[in-house]
Amino acid sequence: MKKVFLSVIGFALICRLNVHAQSVDSLRSKPAPSLYTPVDEPEKRNYDPRQLHVDEIDLVSSYYSQNGDHSAVTGGIGSERVTDLSNGLNLKLVWGNPDYKKNTLDLGMGYDYHTAASQAWVSKTGASKTSGNRLYPSIDYTVENPTLRNTFGFGAYYSGEYNYHSLGADIHFSQKTANKNGEFTAKLQAFFDRVTLIYPSEFVPQSTTVTTGGGTVITTASGNTVTLGEGGDYHVKRNIPTSPRNTFDASFGYSQVISSRLQIMFLADVVGQSGYLGLPFHRVYYNTGKDTIEKLPSSRFKLPVGFRANYFVGDNIILRAYYRYYQDSWGVKSNTAGIEVPVKISPFFSISPFYRYYDQTAARYFAPYEAHSLADQYYTSNYEYSKFNANFYGVGFRIVPQNGVFGWQNFHDLEIRYGHYTQTTGLVSDVVSFSLGFK
C-alpha cells in the first residue's frame, strides 16, 4: 500500500504548491498584480526580528479510489480495488535573528485510512483484514541568509503502518546567484525502513503447541506466540520478523529566470536502494501452476532527470510544462510529460486544467500470471513493473478572496482538485483533493 499512499498525498500537496503565484492576497487594497510582473515592495526591516509567529497553517484532505484486475497478492490476477482517505496538517512557524536571518520550522502530521480488496487474499481463504491506516509526522528546519543569498536546513520523517515502518532524514541547501535570477538547490535524503515479513497463508507453518516448564506455548499460523500460564493467564507476543530496506537519494536542481515571462528549471536525482525490495505477500505463479513468493534483487539504482518551464502568457495565463526521463538497474525506462494551464478568471479565482502522459518499459524480472519459469533467478508478477502507458488529467479550482474565504480574513485560500487516471493494464483511478490555507 505504500505506493498508493505516497501518490495520494503527493497529489494533495500539489494543491498547496502548484499555482501559488497566481494571486497575492497580502496586497489587500492594492490592485492585483499581473502573473508575470514583479511586485515592487520596499524591503521590510522595520519589525522585531526575534518575534516568533505562525506564518501559515495548511489542511489537506484527499479521497482516492482505484480498480483493476492485476493484483500482485494473487499473482497478477484478481481485484485491485483500493480506497484511501488521506488527511494532512502542516504548521509553519517563522522567526528572525538580529542579523535578519529568517528561520522557518515546518511541522507536519498526516493520517491515512485505506481499504484494499486484494489484502483479503493474503490468506488463501480470503479472510485476511482488508483495511489499515498509516501515520506520518514530519519536521523541517530552514534558515535563510539574505546577505549571502542562501538557505540551509534539515528535516526528519516517520511513517508507520501495520507491515511497513520508515524513518527518514534530509539535509537541504540552496544558493541564489548575485542577481537573484538563478538558484541552485541540493537535497540529500536517507530512509531506513523495516518490512514486516507477512507471507501468504500457504507458506506459513501451521500452529504448534509446546509444553515446557509447566507452561504451554502456542505458535500461531500468523507467527505470534501465546504463552498459557497457571490459573488461565496468558501472554501474546508478536513474533513476525522484519527485514531492512534502505534508500539514499541525492537531488539537484537549477532554476533560472530567462525573462519576465519565462522561467526554467533542470532537475536530476541519484537514488540507491538496498535490502528487501519486494513484498513478502506478493505471489508469483510458475508455468507449472506452482506458486511462490516474489523475489527481486537486493539492490536497485535509479537515475531520473527532468526539466520544467513556466511561461507567462499575458496577465492571466501560465503555461507550466514538465518532462522527466527515468531509468534504473532493473531495466525500467520511462518518460513523463505534463502540462498545466492555470487561468486567472478574476484577481481572486483561477482554474487549472492539467494533463500528464507516462510510459515505461517492463522490468527484466516481470512476467504475468503463470509465465515465470522455475529456472528464473528473480521473479515478480506485480504490474507496477510491467510495460504500460498511462494518462492522468483533471482540473483544479482555487480562490483567494481579498477579504478571505467566506469573509474570514485569516482563511487565505481554498483549492479543490480532481484527477482521473487510466493505464493500459486496465487500472483506473480517481482522486479528489481539498486544500485550505490559513495565514
Q: Same domain for 206 and 192?
A: no
pLDDT at 41: 43
Q: Report yes or no on 230 lying in a domain.
A: yes
Domain CATH for 333: 2.40.160
- Give the Cα-Cα-Cα angle 28, 52, 175 (nearest 5 degrees): 80
Q: Report whether pLDDT(150) > 70.
A: yes
Q: Same domain for 306 and 230?
A: no
Last residue of a domain, one of 188, 208, 239: 239
- Please report, rounded to a whole number, the percentage of residues in the chain having pLDDT higher than 70: 81
356, 391 Cβ separation under 8 angstroms? yes
Residue of 186, 193, 223 lying closest to 207 (CA atoms)? 223
Q: Same domain for 421 and 338?
A: yes
Q: Same domain for 357 and 232?
A: no
Q: Same domain for 208 and 301?
A: no
Residue of 108, 57, 110 lying closest to 88 (CA atoms)? 110
**What is the extent of the structural domain holding 248?**
2-37+145-198+244-427
Count of domains for the chain: 2
pLDDT at 409: 78
- Give the Cα-Cα-Cα angle 72, 76, 80 (nearest 5 degrees): 60
Q: Which residue has the higher pLDDT, 80 or 404?
A: 80
Report the alpha-carbon distance of residue 282 to residue 284 in Å, rounded.
Answer: 7
Band of the pLDDT at 4, cuts 50, 70, 90? very low
Q: Same domain for 228 and 258?
A: no
Q: Report yes or no on 366 lying in a domain.
A: yes
Instruction: Return mean pLDDT, the chain.
Output: 86
110, 137 Cβ separation under 8 angstroms? yes
pLDDT in tens, 312-354: 998 899 999 999 999 999 999 999 999 999 999 998 999 999 9
Q: Report whether pLDDT(138) > 80.
A: yes
pLDDT in tens, 115-133: 999 999 998 999 989 999 9
Residue of 298, 276, 286, 308 lying closest to 196 (CA atoms)? 276
Q: Same domain for 396 and 346?
A: yes
Which residues on adjacent β-strands are paired with residue 234? Answer: 228
pLDDT in tens, 6-35: 344 344 433 333 333 333 233 223 333 333
Backbone angles phi, psi at 333, to 5 degrees: -130, 140
Q: Report whether pLDDT(205) > 80.
A: no
Band of the pLDDT at 237, cuts 50, 70, 90? low
Q: Same domain for 208 and 344?
A: no
Q: Report yes or no on 120 lying in a domain.
A: no
Q: Same domain for 284 and 309?
A: yes
Q: Same domain for 192 and 220?
A: no
pLDDT in tens, 41-55: 444 444 455 688 999
Q: Report yes or no on 312 lying in a domain.
A: yes
pLDDT at 27: 28
Q: Same domain for 210 and 345?
A: no
Residue of 121, 125, 110, 117 lying closest to 75 (CA atoms)? 121
Q: Report yes or no on 10 lying in a domain.
A: yes
Last residue of a domain, one of 217, 239, 261: 239
Q: Same domain for 228 and 336?
A: no
Last residue of a domain, one of 239, 270, 291: 239
Q: Report yes or no on 254 lying in a domain.
A: yes
